[in-house]
Amino acid sequence: MASKHYILFLGGSTNSLNLMAEGIVRQKNIDAVNVISANMNPSEPHPYAIKTMKEIGIDVDSLSLRTSEAVELFMFDLVITLGNFDQSCRPNLPGMPPHIHWQIPDPQDDLDNDLKLEQFRNARDILITKIETLLSSDLLHTLSVTRRNFQLILDNLLDGVMAHTTNRRIFYFNKAAENITGYNREEILGQDCHDIFPGRFCGGYCLFCETNSLNHINPSEKEVVFLTPDGEERFLHMATMPLSDPEGSQLGALILFKDNTELKSLKRRLKHHHSLGGMVGKDPAMLSLFNQIRELGAVNAPVLIEGESGTGKELVANAIHEISLRAQKPFVAINCGALPEGILESELFGHVRGAFTGAVHDKKGRFELADGGTLFLDEVGELSQAMQVKLLRVLQEQKFFRVGGEKAIQVDVRIISATNQNLRKLMKDKQFRSDLFYRLCVVPITLPTLRERKLDIPMLVERFVEIIGKETGRPVLTPSIEVLDTLTAYPWPGNVRELRNAIEYAYVKCYDDVIEVEHLPPEIVDYESKPSSRRGPAPKLTKAEVLKALADTEGNKKAAAKYLGIGRATLYRYLTNFNIPQ
């Protein structure tokens, strides 16, 4: 069964040409055509319009009087304007149905009755001829096919598409929009988007929300939390842009949106999987470490964290504390290698007033401050033999005395210790007590070095540029591919701490949006040029050869380095040595 063709006759005067056109079409009683008329200046049917239509058997009085505001143009396949219609009022919103104008002489009111009646009959006959021509042609069929094809294209898009007029009346809503929002097209079309969507579809950010801003709508993108009719929460990425006429006047808005709910959920899961306690990593070594930390959160056993300097031992200790049952209690850290023995004892156990010169009041030690929580003993391998004995006694007896005090103090503290030394070798050399070692090392954790987890370097760089960008108040810089390659090749004796320092250095040196190799610390740039870090010996180049390579590659340093058979960092070293502008 063929679909209906919808026609709107739109008039601008009080001579009822639009009603006459509607009556003529309805008289023909064509099932495939649905016709409506409206007027920019509605009034009662003109008496001569009634008279001339009754002459051919049409009762104009039976037709409905509508204003142009009462119809939604998107419903029609064709809009026909009539008579002396003000063309500045002619609807021309992009995406709306096509419009044609029938220039029919408008009957004049200042004529005598016979001439006026003759003009109405003349207008009627012209309308009959034009309507018969329209209905007998393939124009309506062509227009409806074009409209259906246009809708078919948009309905096959994966992204939701919605369009509305300046008064927020929705005139387009594709299939993907139905699937994403849970609303049917039939209940959406013609509605004010503020009325149909609870809480505002755009989240209240769209400038069309305020009518006094309609002359200043700019394209925008945002993330919006949307609730479906079933109460399901969805995360939409939404782009709003104006629909304008050729003169630049804004006539509505086009909203494109995609459902990022699953993507957001996946990112959350990945973030949970690839990060923990301020640490990030996707290397198998780090994922194994994350699993160890999660396991330790459920137990209360002492932990010994071993690893080189800069690998993040305190971050690991803090992560264990944060996911443990002690998370609501204090996490207290002390560096055992940073304080002299006398001060360290007071810092660990506290002291009473008068215990030594300068002890003017009682002071709690780190054990007391960490009561109920976790005490982190960093660089525990630096403890003197005497301090090892005192610490062992506390761990065995679960109580201690403040320096100069006589009252035993008992606390509930979980011990996590860390070292960058080989405690087993120190035990063998009689520099670290074995009984203390086994008290501290109930569960050992060994942290991988950065050179052992190079898969994580790009992720760490991304994290550090974001952190340092916020700290410095500068835009987040983007490392080039060559920078990531250079950083990945470097052995990182200072581990993650050194990597962060390198990014901070780059922020000082880089004045553009992209971090290049020349913005890295010299020791990292120079490392690539060492023979041991490259395949084969470095070629010895002259200044003329370097300049020629730059000229042949039109200044493209990556291409020039490839042309010369050297790494990009090596090329920058030559540029510096030869005083060639970079």
The tens digit of pLDDT for each residue in 457-487 reads 988 998 999 999 999 988 889 998 889 889 9
The answer to whether residues 397 and 295 belong to one domain is yes
CATH number of the domain to which 283 belongs = 3.40.50.300
The proportion of the chain whose per-residue pLDDT surpasses 70, expressed as a percent, equals: 87
The answer to whether residues 423 and 311 belong to one domain is yes
Q: Which of 227, 259, 291 is the last residue of a domain?
A: 259
CATH number of the domain to which 38 belongs = 3.40.50.2300
- Residue carrying structure tokens 């300068």: 358
CB within 8 A of 526, min separation 6: which ones? 569, 573
Query: Does residue 394 lie in a domain region?
Result: yes
pLDDT tens digits, one per residue of 379-410: 999 999 999 999 999 999 889 999 888 899 99
| Lowest pLDDT segment from 59-68, 109-118, 564-573 | 564-573
Owning domain of residue 507? 451-577
Spatial contact of 80 and 101, defined as CB atoms under 8 Å apart: yes
Nearest alpha carbon to residue 415 among 436, 385, 387:
436
Average pLDDT (523-536) is 63
DSSP string, 496-540: HHHHHHHHHHHHHH--SSEE-GGGS-HHHHHHHHSGGGSSSPPPP
Query: Does residue 582 lie in a domain region?
Result: no
The answer to whether residues 441 and 309 belong to one domain is yes
Q: How many CB atoms lie within 10 A of CB 497?
A: 15
The answer to whether residues 164 and 71 belong to one domain is no
CATH number of the domain to which 507 belongs = 1.10.8.60
Q: For position 562, what pLDDT does the model report?
A: 75
Task: Record the tokens describing residue 446, joined without a space.
Answer: 């060994």
The answer to whether residues 362 and 253 belong to one domain is no
Query: Does residue 271 lie in a domain region?
Result: no
The answer to whether residues 408 and 491 belong to one domain is no
Give the angle subtended at the CA of 451 by the CAs of 446 and 453, to the nearest 5°. Answer: 65
CA–CA distance, 404 with 400 (Å, rounded to integer):
11
pLDDT tens digits, one per residue of 179-229: 888 888 888 877 888 887 866 676 555 555 554 344 445 677 778 888 888
Nearest alpha carbon to residue 427 among 474, 388, 464:
388
307: amino acid identity, one letter: G
The answer to whether residues 300 and 245 belong to one domain is no
Q: How many CB atoms lie within 10 A of CB 335?
A: 16
Q: For position 537, what pLDDT does the model report?
A: 46
pLDDT tens digits, one per residue of 426-458: 999 999 999 999 999 999 999 999 999 988 998
CB within 8 A of 54, min separation 6: which ones? 60
Spatial contact of 447 and 306, defined as CB atoms under 8 Å apart: yes
The answer to whether residues 218 and 127 belong to one domain is no
Query: Does residue 265 lie in a domain region?
Result: no
Q: For position 535, what pLDDT does the model report?
A: 44
The answer to whether residues 335 and 386 belong to one domain is yes
CA–CA distance, 412 with 408 (Å, rounded to integer):
14
CATH number of the domain to which 169 belongs = 3.30.450.20
Give the CA radius of gyration of the chain: 40
Q: For position 468, what pLDDT does the model report?
A: 94
The answer to whether residues 567 and 459 belong to one domain is yes
Round the average pLDDT of the chain to a whole number and report it: 83
pLDDT at 574 over 70: yes
Distances (CA, A) of 35 to 103, 197, 343, 493: 19, 31, 95, 81
Q: Give the strand order in the sheet containing 443-446.
A: 331-335, 374-378, 414-419, 303-306, 443-446
Q: Which of 397, 430, 448 is the last residue of a domain?
A: 448
> Can you state the percent helix, strand and coil of the chain, rounding each to 5?
45, 20, 35
Average pLDDT (321-350) is 91
pLDDT at 72 over 70: no
Average pLDDT (55-67) is 84
Residues in a beta bridge with 334: 377
pLDDT band at 533 (very low <50, low <70, confident <90, very high): very low
The answer to whether residues 171 and 209 belong to one domain is yes
Q: For position 556, what pLDDT does the model report?
A: 81
The alpha carbon of residue 250 and the mean position of all alpha carbons in its chain are separated, in whole angstroms, by 28
Give the angle subtended at the CA of 364 by the CAs of 358 and 365, to the nearest 5°. Answer: 95
CA–CA distance, 513 with 147 (Å, rounded to integer):
46
Residues in a beta bridge with 7: 35, 78
Query: Does residue 150 lie in a domain region?
Result: no
Count of domains in the chain? 4
The answer to whether residues 101 and 203 belong to one domain is no
Distances (CA, A) of 373 to 346, 368, 406: 20, 10, 25
Query: Does residue 84 lie in a domain region?
Result: yes
pTM: 0.52
pLDDT band at 569 (very low <50, low <70, confident <90, very high): confident
Q: For position 248, what pLDDT does the model report?
A: 67
CA–CA distance, 117 with 132 (Å, rounded to integer):
23
Query: Does residue 498 lie in a domain region?
Result: yes
CA–CA distance, 421 with 336 (Å, rounded to integer):
13
Query: Does residue 268 lie in a domain region?
Result: no
Q: Which of 90, 120, 144 is the last residue of a domain?
A: 144
The proportion of the chain whose per-residue pLDDT surpasses 90, expressed as a percent, equals: 31
Average pLDDT (317-325) is 94
Distances (CA, A) of 362 to 50, 330, 346, 449: 107, 20, 11, 42
Q: How many CB atoms lie within 10 A of CB 138?
A: 8
Residues in the chain: 582
Residue 64 zone, left/alpha/beta (φ > 0; ψ -120 to 50; rest): beta
Exposure class string for 503-535: b at 16+ Cβ within 10 A, else e: beebbeebeeeebbbbbbbeebbebbbeeeebe
